[in-house]
């Protein structure tokens, strides 16, 4: 028992050291330009960017709670808030590879089974994509004439992005509602996929779809839950979409709010389907493609960096503080266990 406690202490300290090392690397290579832009931003604009970034996380926490509370009544908005920030932290630390796993693990720490965690994560992703489609379609309808004037060639890509995203959502929901179809596809995969890695991937997808079906079936028992989950997901995105307008308004006082809002929603939905040059993130590429003709390169880049701060860096910082506090608590608990073991050994 004593050796186990000491091992856990060294493991937690080692993990903290690794986290700090990765953070230093990421800040030096990926986030330095964002922090440089923060230094050049007025306090008022920066304060509003932080405010809307925090509001987004609160609303996101409410949307996660709307799903998770169907399985665990004690799951709170605070838990949902820190779920989002915890995932944001591990998204940076793992360079994107541990995003879904970290969310599932957080639910497990809150007492939910792995299968329910997978289902909640999958449904959370689906509802986010539905909300993205909602705002992109609404923006395209309202701002079609202006958008046609500024970037007519982008309209087919936006429609393709909407259709592709909808196809993904529709496929997942159809698979999750039909056990026979899932069994058929699994059998087909094992019969025709010769490589073990592909079969393992198909098995993982099968587990996720099965977990999603359980989650969907649970939530459908309360029809109002669907509206709550969808409503909170739709409500959270404007908190991010309004940030470019806040940043650009200072140098472009006559800029159209709805156009900027719509352009941001288009960049989000296109980032998943638009081919981008090597070394440039999909969202960044599409965002600059839309905004540079509108406000110029300098202001477009500045608004992009501040948008990335609110949507990427800010939740990562909150998540980092949360993880450090959690690790500190675990280390203190293990140190206490070691001291108790020493006292018991002396008494013997």
Q: How far is CA 226 from CA 79, 98, 113, 208, 230, in A?
A: 20, 27, 22, 20, 6
Asked if the model's pLDDT at residue 320 lies above 60, the reply is yes
Q: How many domains does one find in the chain? A: 1
Asked if the model's pLDDT at residue 278 lies above 50, the reply is no
Give the closest residue to 105 by CA, choosing from 97, 96, 113.
Answer: 113
Asked if the model's pLDDT at residue 186 lies above 70, the reply is no
Summarised one tens digit per residue, pLDDT across range 291-308 is 998 899 899 999 999 999
- Angle 288-292-293 from CA coordinates, rounded to 5°: 135
Task: Tell me the torsion sign for CA atoms 61, 64, 69, 74.
Answer: negative
Summarised one tens digit per residue, pLDDT across range 114-145 is 778 888 888 888 899 999 999 999 988 888 88
pTM for the full predicted model: 0.83
Asked if the model's pLDDT at residue 279 lies above 70, the reply is no
- pLDDT score recorded for residue 145: 82
Task: Tell me the torsion sign for CA atoms 157, 159, 164, 165.
Answer: positive
Q: How far is CA 307 from CA 37, 44, 85, 137, in A?
A: 11, 15, 16, 21
| Domain assignment of residue 340, given as a range | 2-347
Asked if the model's pLDDT at residue 97 lies above 60, the reply is yes
Summarised one tens digit per residue, pLDDT across range 5-56 is 556 566 666 666 666 666 655 555 557 788 888 888 899 999 999 999 999 9
Give the closest residue to 245 by CA, choosing from 16, 49, 2.
Answer: 49
- pLDDT score recorded for residue 28: 53
Percent of the chain at pLDDT exceeding 90: 32
Across residues 163-188, what is the average pLDDT?
Answer: 72
Summarised one tens digit per residue, pLDDT across range 220-276 is 677 788 888 999 999 999 999 999 999 999 899 999 999 899 999 999 988 866 554
């Amino acid at each position: 028992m004593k050796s186990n406690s000491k091992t856990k202490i060294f493991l937690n300290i080692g993990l903290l050291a690794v986290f700090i090392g990765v953070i230093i690397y990421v800040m030096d290579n990926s986030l330095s330009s964002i922090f440089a832009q923060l230094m050049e931003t007025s306090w008022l604009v920066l304060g509003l960017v932080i405010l809307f970034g925090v509001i987004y996380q609160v609303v996101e926490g409410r949307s996660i709670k709307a799903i998770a509370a169907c399985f665990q009544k004690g799951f709170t908005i605070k838990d949902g808030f820190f779920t989002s920030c915890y995932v944001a932290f591990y998204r940076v630390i793992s360079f994107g590879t541990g995003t879904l796993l970290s969310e599932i693990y957080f639910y497990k720490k809150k007492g939910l089974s792995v299968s329910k965690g997978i289902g909640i994560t999958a449904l959370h992703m689906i509802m986010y994509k539905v909300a993205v489609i909602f705002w992109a379609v609404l923006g395209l309808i309202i701002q079609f004439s202006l958008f046609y004037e500024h970037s007519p060639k982008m309209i087919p890509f936006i429609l393709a992005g909407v259709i592709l995203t909808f196809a993904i959502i529709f496929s997942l929901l159809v698979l999750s509602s039909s056990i026979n179809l899932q069994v058929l596809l699994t059998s087909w995969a094992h019969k025709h996929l010769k490589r073990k890695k592909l079969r393992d991937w198909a098995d993982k997808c099968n587990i996720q779809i099965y977990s999603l079906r359980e989650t969907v079936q649970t939530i459908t028992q309360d029809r109002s839950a669907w509206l709550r989950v969808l409503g909170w997901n739709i409500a959270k995105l404007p908190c991010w979409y309004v940030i470019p307008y806040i940043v650009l308004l200072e140098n472009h006082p006559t800029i159209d709010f709805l156009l900027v809002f719509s352009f941001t929603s288009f960049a989000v939905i296109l980032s998943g389907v638009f081919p981008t040059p090597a070394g440039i993130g999909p969202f960044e590429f599409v965002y600059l493609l839309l905004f540079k003709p509108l406000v110029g390169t300098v202001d477009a880049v500045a608004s992009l960096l501040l948008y990335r701060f609110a949507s990427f860096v800010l939740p990562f910082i909150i998540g980092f503080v949360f993880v450090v506090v959690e690790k500190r608590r675990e280390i203190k608990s293990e140190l206490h266990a070691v001291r108790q073991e020493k006292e018991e050994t002396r008494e013997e």
